[in-house]
Amino acid sequence: MKKDTRVVRGGLNKKRNAGVVNTPVVRASTVIFENVAAMRDADERVLKKHEKILFYGRRGTPTHWTLQEAITDLAGGADTALAPSGLGACTLAILSCVKAGDHILVTDSVYGPTRAFCSGFLKRFGVDVDYYDPTIGAGIAALLKPNTTLVFCESPGSLTFEIQDIPAIAAAAHARGAKVAVDNTWSSPLFCKPLTLGADLSIEAGTKYIVGHSDVLIGTVTGTAEAIHSVHSTAGALGLAVSPDDVYLATRGLRTLGVRLRQHQASALTVARWLQGRPEVKRVLYPALPEDPGHVLWKRDFSGASGLLGVVFRNTSQAAVDAMIDGMELFPLGFSWGGFESLIAPVTAARTAKPWTEPQPGIRLHIGLEDVEDLIEDLEKGLARFRKALKA
């Protein structure tokens, strides 16, 4: 089946759904067993083999299995674990690969709170962390140590948008026995499948494009048969559970991912090209543009681009960026992205492995599903405020 058919049909199971199209919201804490033998059997199958049968609400219900199966199918993995947020999915994936005394490599372009988890929380538990230049590719081999167990990638980085050479990183990591996890949120499993590029774990902040409506937090970790077992065990040990209502909304959002993402892409490309023609703009950070340094890798490994892009100004100041953002009508200021609406945020990249040398601050735009002409008109007025404040 082609991708769009998988988006629509993944996880659908007539028998499980009691005749209705969408798997209903099945809420549970307690599950009643026929007898002790049935309880023991379920215990063995769920806790040891991670099978999808009813056991206890924390271990999932048919509502959860539907989303897990749909994401697994789309990402091309063996199975998927759910987490209560995208950040929770990143930390779950990392924790499933480390123990005290291990070393991990994390991209310098990683999402800030994931970085804070690695530099703060993980270090407290005796895991050593080094950050690497996101454009390093096969050069990662020189940074791998005998105790390196994981390379954590985010491609493209959600602030600076470098595309990473996942096949080259995976080849080097696997040669030394380390696993590779990729935060794949920007493209979703529709436009990039890290597991087919050699990664062991593929992470989505489902909060963004999978949910698509800015009203639910959820994360997913899809893995190969070898890698997913430890993710399930770690999620079980941590007691992670996601509300079936949230899972239901994520599954509902997923069904329209294809049409939404293609519109985000079309509008983002139009806005990106328009921004490239503006005198205030030095660079538009969007890998789908032929001028972008990551474009060749993006073309090789991705089948599309999403609605999130960055803008680097020629000359900039905090006052100019603030003046632009504060007057926007169609680009409200807020965290996150991937919903139906456009958003704007100021951007200052914090790096340690490879300095970000572009003028700062810049802005990040999420191009939503509004009419693109209205969006451009709003941006034009915003750039006029930017120019005025820069001169003041």
Ligand X SMILES: Cc1ncc(COP(=O)(O)O)c(C=O)c1O
The sheet carrying 103-107 orders its strands as 79-83, 219-223, 201-204, 179-183, 148-154, 103-107, 128-132
Are the beta carbons of 20 and 12 closer than 8 angstroms? Answer: no
The only residue of 55, 111, 248, 302 in contact with ligand X, by rule CB under 6 A: 111
Q: How many CB atoms lie within 10 A of CB 124?
A: 7
Q: Read off the tokens for 43.
A: 């215990």
Q: Which of 317, 309, 376, 311 is nearest to 338 (CA)?
A: 309
Active site residue 208: yes
The interface mask with ligand X, positions 216-235, x = CB under 6 A, is -x-x----------------
**DSSP states of 113-147:** HHHHIIIIIIHHTT-EEEEE-TT-GGGGGGG--TT
Looking at residues 163 to 202 of the shown chain, list those that interact with ligand X (rule: CB under 6 A): 183, 185
Stretch that binds ligand X, among 85-93, 161-169, 243-251, 342-350 (CB under 6 A): 85-93
Q: Which of 303, 67, 309, 65 is nearest to 194 (CA)?
A: 303
Rg (CA), the chain: 22
DSSP-based helix, strand, coil % in the chain, nearest 5? 40, 15, 45
- DSSP 8-state assignment for residue 182: E
Closest approach of ligand X to the CB of residue 107, in Å: 11
Are the beta carbons of 149 and 126 closer than 8 angstroms? Answer: no
Residues touching ligand X, count (CB under 6 A): 14
Residue 6 or 364: which CB sits closer to ligand X? 364
In the set 9, 27, 58, 123, the catalytic residue is 58
Residue 42 or 89: which CB sits closer to ligand X? 89
The only residue of 26, 75, 87, 372 in contact with ligand X, by rule CB under 6 A: 87
The only residue of 62, 86, 134, 310 in contact with ligand X, by rule CB under 6 A: 86
Stretch that binds ligand X, among 26-34, 56-64, 81-89, 245-253 (CB under 6 A): 81-89
Length of the chain as a residue count: 392
Residue 65 or 111: which CB sits closer to ligand X? 111
The only residue of 151, 153, 163, 205 in contact with ligand X, by rule CB under 6 A: 205
Closest approach of ligand X to the CB of residue 88, in Å: 6
In the set 133, 183, 246, 301, the catalytic residue is 183
Q: Does 83 bind ligand X (CB under 6 A)?
A: no
Closest approach of ligand X to the CB of residue 111, in Å: 4
Q: Does 85 bind ligand X (CB under 6 A)?
A: yes
Q: Does 131 bind ligand X (CB under 6 A)?
A: no
Active site residue 282: no
Stretch that binds ligand X, among 84-92, 164-172, 348-356, 373-381 (CB under 6 A): 84-92
Closest approach of ligand X to the CB of residue 34, in Å: 39
Residue 66 or 207: which CB sits closer to ligand X? 207
Residue type, 229: H
Question: SS3 of 385, please?
Answer: helix
Stretch that binds ligand X, among 82-90, 283-291, 296-304, 351-359 (CB under 6 A): 82-90
Residue type, 371: D
Active site residue 111: yes
Active site residue 183: yes
Looking at residues 299 to 358 of the shown chain, list those that interact with ligand X (rule: CB under 6 A): 336
Q: Read off the tokens for 261.
A: 């993402």
Which H or E run contains 362?
A: strand 362-366
Q: Read off the tokens for 322.
A: 């603030």
Measure the CA–CA gap between 124 and 187, rounded to whole angstroms: 32
Given the rule CB under 6 A, which residues bind ligand X?
A: 85-87, 90, 111, 154, 158, 183, 185, 205, 207, 217, 219, 336
Catalytic residue numbers read 58, 111, 183, 208
